[in-house]
Amino acid sequence: MNLRPRINRWTHARRDLNFSSQIESSLVQPHFVVAGEGVDEPIASMPGIHRQSTDVLLQTIAGDMKMGLKSHMLFAVLDEHEKDATASAASSKDMHLIHAIRQLKSQFGDDIVVMTDVCLCTATDHGHCGILHNENIDNDLSVTELCKIAVSHAEAGADYISASDMMDGRVLAIRGALENAGLVNTGILSYSVKYASSFYGPFRDAADSAPSFGDRGSHQMDIRSGYGEAVLEATSDESEGADIIMIKPALAYLDVVRKVADVVTRPVAVYNVSGEYSLVMSSTSDEESRGKMVREIFHSFKRAGADVIVSYHAREALSRNWL
Ligand code: PBG
């Protein structure tokens, strides 16, 4: 396996994201991208966050870029009729997300960092993160599909593939698939230490990705598991070629962030997830107190060892000068 440390240095925007000590440069804003035109639909459980079609997304991100919010994580939201048992729509070269990636990269070039979620759950009709065999997720069949999706995003120009599925061995397989396709500058942000958490509820509404039966316990980490399991997942992803190692959720796992940051050599990311966002948003309508809470939370991430912070608060924090 080729280690490619240059991936994180490839553009000035990637370097600012990974290596600046300033919170402003560390922030990544998530977006929910739908097909169509002129769609700007608020998500009830996540005040301030909307599902947007590519034309509206481009305007939103243009505003973000102007105030220095340069890193963006895209989630494709699909219509029911596009979904099937094998998530085939997710790797289609014609899907709306591919057009969104292309347009963002052609408009903002190397000034933007585009990260794209790679998982099957938003495109399977059963809502599971993999391909099912007798109601269980078949690891290796799912990895083959994930590789196809990753290559399609990378070809469109994504800076980082965000692998959020938690299948075994997928970082190595995706790295290999990217290399085979000659896409040697595309990074992998791995959701390495991702717990089967109750804090993802609002996201599953937003992305319409809740499993239709069962749960995610067979692949996401047990919330009771200790540091050994976290270090195993983080270090194995690192040795498989992950360029950024992510821990998710963030607030209930700051001890794990510290532990992982102490053992890996790659940049560490935290995902301040939807349930954590909604908790803060519903706790007060007073902007000033909310700002102070967000500032305190972001500093706790930094102190725990996070280089990169994925948060739905990113835009508001920058636009209102909360940091
Ligand atoms: C897809 C995915 C999820 C989140 C990010 N990528 C949902 C899940 O694992 O069920 C959650 C993000 C959030 O709650 O903000 N697998």
Q: Reduce the DSSP state of residue 105 to 3 states and report it.
A: helix
Domains of the chain: 5-319 (3.20.20.70)
Per-position DSSP letters for 38-78, written without gaps between them: S-EEE-TTSTT-EEEEHHHHHHHHHHHHHTT--EEEEEE--
Question: For ligand 1, what atom is nearest to the CA of residue 209?
Answer: 10
Best of 164, 189, 248 for a ligand 1 pocket test (most atoms within 8 Å of beta carbon): 164
Q: Is 164 in the pocket of ligand 1 (CB under 6 A)?
A: yes
Question: For ligand 1, what atom is nearest to the CA of residue 30?
Answer: 15
Find the 274 Cα to ligand 1 centroid distance in Å. 8
Radius of gyration of the chain (CA): 18
Q: Can you give the pLDDT at residue 17?
A: 98
Does the pTM exceed 0.85? Answer: yes
Task: Please confirm whether the linkage preceding 249 is cis (ω < 30° from 0).
Answer: yes
Residue count of the chain, please give it. 323
Q: How far is CA 175 from CA 147, 164, 186, 304, in A?
A: 9, 15, 9, 28
**Protein residue whose Cα sits closest to atom 2 of ligand 1:** 164
Q: Is 322 in the pocket of ligand 1 (CB under 6 A)?
A: no
Contact predicate 141/130, CB 8 Å: yes
**Protein residue whose Cα sits closest to atom 1 of ligand 1:** 164
Residue 142 phi/psi, 5° resolution?
Answer: -65, -40
Sequence letter at residue 62: A
**Protein residue whose Cα sits closest to atom 5 of ligand 1:** 164
Residue 202 phi/psi, 5° resolution?
Answer: -60, -35
pLDDT along the chain (323 residues), means of 10: 91 98 98 98 96 98 98 97 94 96 98 97 94 93 97 98 96 98 98 97 92 93 98 98 98 98 98 98 95 98 98 98 94
Beta strand pairing call for 131-133 and 136-138: antiparallel
Q: Is 250 in the pocket of ligand 1 (CB under 6 A)?
A: no
Q: Can you give the pLDDT at residue 58?
A: 98
- The residue ranges of DSSP E strands in 54-159, in sequence order, are 71-76, 113-118, 131-133, 136-138
Per-position DSSP letters for 211-257, written without gaps between them: -SSS-STTTSBPTT--HHHHHHHHHHHHHHT-SEEEEES-GGGHHHH
- How far apart are alpha carbons 285 and 291 in whole angstroms? 11
- Other C-beta atoms closer than 10 Å to the C-beta of 279 total 13
Best of 203, 205, 246, 247 for a ligand 1 pocket test (most atoms within 8 Å of beta carbon): 203
* Burial (CB count within 10 angstroms: exposed 0-12, middle 13-18, buried 19+), residue 42: exposed
Among residues 173, 171, 172, 163, which one has the least CA distance to residue 194?
163
Task: Specify the DSSP element, H or E, that contains 150.
Answer: helix 139-156
Catalytic residue among 194, 259, 292, 302: 194
Sequence letter at residue 90: A
Six-digit token pair at 195? 């717990």
- How far apart are alpha carbons 280 and 276 in whole angstroms? 7
Q: Can you give the pLDDT at residue 2?
A: 74
Task: Specify the DSSP element, H or E, that contains 299.
Answer: helix 287-304
Is residue 194 annotated as a catalytic residue, yes or no? yes
Six-digit token pair at 54? 């590519």
Best of 43, 73, 116, 119 for a ligand 1 pocket test (most atoms within 8 Å of beta carbon): 119
DSSP label at residue 124: B
Find the 151 Cα to ligand 1 centroid distance in Å. 21
